Structure 1
Amino acid sequence: MVALGCSFDARVDGLIKNRHGTYYSQQRVPERLQRAVVRVLKSSRPRQVSLKKTLGTKVLAEANSRAKPVLMEFDRTLPPLRLLRAQGA
Structure 2
Amino acid sequence: MGRWMKADVYPLVAAMTFVTGMCLFQLTRNALLNPDVRINKAHRRTAVLENQEEGEKYAEHRLRKFLRTRPPQVMPAINRFFSDNN
Shared fold, TM over 0.5: no
TM, length-normalised to structure 2: 0.29
- Please state which structure has a larger fraction of its residues in strand: 1
Instruction: Considering Cα pairs closer than 8 Å and 6+ residues apart, tell me whether 1 or 2 has the greater RCO.
Output: 1
TM, length-normalised to structure 1: 0.28
Larger radius of gyration: 2
- Please state which structure has a larger fraction of its residues in helix: 2
